[in-house]
């Protein structure tokens, strides 16, 4: 027991010496850990700033993607284009009517027997009609300056429905460009 008491006593006396040495080592470790924590906190702040900057860039890019680019037309642009197309269409219709009127005047001038002008050629893509010699028909003596178009027009004014292809079918070998005054041609009856 004496030994135990001696041992306890020695331990109690040595304890104050061990304790300050341990406290100094613990404090040094604590200071190192505090410094490392401070470095980590600073690094975390830098990372947070970078993340914030990246979030802002992503947000800006999403905003740009959501905005219509120069490749898109607004509703107002489409309305302007539609109005312009309507205006062009109106002008086209007016031009078409003017051209038709001019062609009609030209046709009247050519078919009125002005004599010296060129005679219009018959379109080659007109449908062919056939002539039945057994059906009633009339004969027409070509006058000076007459064209097939003028003859058709004159008969139509009399109520006889006739076309140039029908006259050509009733008169094989007849060429409108060589129509001479005094030549007798056959005019098929109306509706043939």
Give the pLDDT confidence of 131-168 residue by residue, as tens digits: 455 567 888 999 988 999 999 999 899 888 889 999 89
Q: By CB neighbour count within 10 A (0-12 exposed, 13-18 middle, 19+ buried), where does 145 fall?
A: middle
185 bridge partner residues? 140
Read off the tokens for 42: 């600073």
User: Would you give the DSSP letter of residue 155?
Assistant: H
The C-alpha atoms of residue 147 and residue 97 are separated, in whole angstroms, by 25
Report which of residues 54 and 160 the model is more confident about.
Answer: 54
Q: How confident is the model at residue 76 (pLDDT cuts 50, 70, 90)?
A: confident
Residue corresponding to tokens 């006739």: 162
Distance CA 84, CA 191 (A): 47
pLDDT for 130 beyond 80? no
Query: What is the share, in percent, of the chain residues with pLDDT greater than 70?
Result: 77
Alpha helices in 67-171 (DSSP H): 75-111, 148-157, 164-170
- pLDDT band at residue 47, thresholds of 50, 70 and 90? very high
Nearest C-alpha neighbor of 106 from the set 95, 94, 120: 120
C-alpha angle with apex 185: 180 to 189, nearest 5 degrees? 150
Strands (E), the chain: 137-141, 184-188
pLDDT for 120 beyond 60: no
Q: Give pLDDT, residue 126.
A: 37
Predicted local distance difference test score (pLDDT) of residue 34: 92
- Mean pLDDT of the 37-42 span: 94
Identify the sign of the CA torsion 55, 56, 60, 66: positive
How high is the mean pLDDT of the chain? 80
pLDDT at 14: 64
* Structure tokens that stand for 49 in this block: 């700033």
Is the pLDDT score of 128 beyond 80?
A: no
How many Å apart are CA 55 and CA 173, to the nearest integer? 90
Model pLDDT, residue 83: 94
Mean pLDDT of 123-129: 39
pLDDT of residue 121: 44
- Structure confidence at residue 87 (pLDDT): 92
Is 123's pLDDT higher than 50?
Answer: no
Query: What pLDDT does 20 receive?
Result: 63
User: Please, which pLDDT band fits residue 129 given cuts at 50, 70 and 90?
Assistant: very low
- Token digits for 74? 């607004």
**pTM, whole model, 2 decimals?**
0.32
């Amino acid at each position: 027991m004496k030994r135990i008491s001696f041992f306890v006593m020695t331990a109690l006396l040595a304890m104050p010496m061990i304790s300050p040495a341990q406290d100094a080592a613990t404090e040094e470790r604590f200071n190192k850990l505090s410094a490392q924590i401070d470095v980590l906190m600073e690094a975390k702040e830098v990372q947070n700033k970078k993340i914030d900057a990246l979030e802002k860039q992503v947000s800006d890019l999403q905003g740009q993607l959501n905005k219509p680019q120069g490749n898109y037309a607004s509703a107002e642009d489409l309305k302007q284009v539609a109005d312009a197309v309507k205006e062009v269409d109106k002008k086209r219709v007016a031009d078409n009517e003017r051209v038709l009127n001019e062609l009609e005047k030209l046709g009247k001038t050519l078919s009125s027997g002005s004599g010296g002008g060129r005679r219009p050629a018959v379109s080659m893509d007109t449908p062919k009609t056939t002539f039945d010699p057994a059906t009633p028909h009339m004969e027409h003596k070509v006058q000076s300056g007459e064209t097939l178009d003028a003859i058709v027009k004159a008969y139509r004014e009399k109520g006889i429905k006739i076309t140039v292809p029908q006259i050509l079918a009733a008169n094989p070998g007849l060429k409108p460009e060589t129509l001479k005054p005094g030549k007798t041609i056959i005019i098929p009856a109306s509706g043939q």
